[in-house]
Amino acid sequence: MSRKSVLMIDDNADLVEVAKVLFDAKEFMFVAAKDGTEGLFKAKNQKFDVIICDIKMPRMDGITFAQEFRRTIKHETPILFYSGHLEEMPLSLKNLKGLYRLAKPSQGYELVQKVRSLASGVTEAAAPTPANINQRRFSAGSFIFHEAENGAEAFMVDEGEVELVKENPDGSVIVLDTLHAGEFLGTWAPTDGQFRFHGARAKTVVKLTEIPQALIKKEMEGKPAWFEALVRGKHQRLQASFQRLKKELKAS
């Protein structure tokens, strides 16, 4: 088996050193860069199987790196945003393909497993194990995901309230629905949906359980009545919100 090449762009030198240990040299060729500028230089001179990228960095941040990488280098190397600031990913990235996310902090094996899957050409929607399920917290007002992003995972609300929103070009949002503890959010076409048709924003401080879409698909294979009812109810609820919104806009 040939080694996979990984470029990690992060200004946290201690984290990079830990990652070097995590990525077994027999399986991975690991290269590091301390910011987006250095990362872009190395990516222009060597093709990588996966790029791990922080968001907040000096000289060139991760968002700018991704935009410049796709614009100048063009090949579809998966870029995994590994950051504690995923909510700051702008809408302008929704047109870029091959972008994935993993929140800091996370277990080391999660990072390696994510990279291994991407390097093998396996998307997040394919065969993750229950170990991939993790809990995440979001501050009030922060985005959990934007519409038109890849919908490879869904969430269950454990605590707090989440708003489902449509995002306007000027940055404003229209609230379609509000979800509470015990409700699900994500891509509500789990058998064929790859992109979300609404965004999700934390109305309050929220705690969510992340559920990989592969597990949702596995549940759907048996077509349990409770899951079909849940998905059908969610579609109907959102459809009613869209119809209400159209009427309000037409009347204004």
pTM, 2 dp: 0.51
pLDDT, residue 225, reads 63
Question: What dotted CATH number matches 1-122?
Answer: 3.40.50.2300
* pLDDT attached to residue 158: 84
Structure tokens at 142: 């922060």
Residue ranges of the chain whose pLDDT lies below 70: 1, 74, 88-95, 122-133, 150-152, 187-195, 212-243, 245-246, 248-252
Query: How many whole angstroms separate alpha carbon 205 and alpha carbon 169?
Result: 26
| Domains of the chain by residue range | 1-122, 125-252
Task: Give residue 65's pLDDT.
Answer: 93
∠ CA 66-70-71, nearest 5°, is: 115
Question: Residue 159: what pLDDT?
Answer: 87
Give CATH superfamily name and number for 125-252.
Jelly Rolls (2.60.120.10)
- Is 51:77 a contact under the CB 8 Å cutoff? yes
pLDDT in tens, 15-73: 999 999 889 899 999 999 999 999 999 999 999 999 999 999 999 999 899 989 998 88
pLDDT score at 10: 95
pLDDT at 129: 37
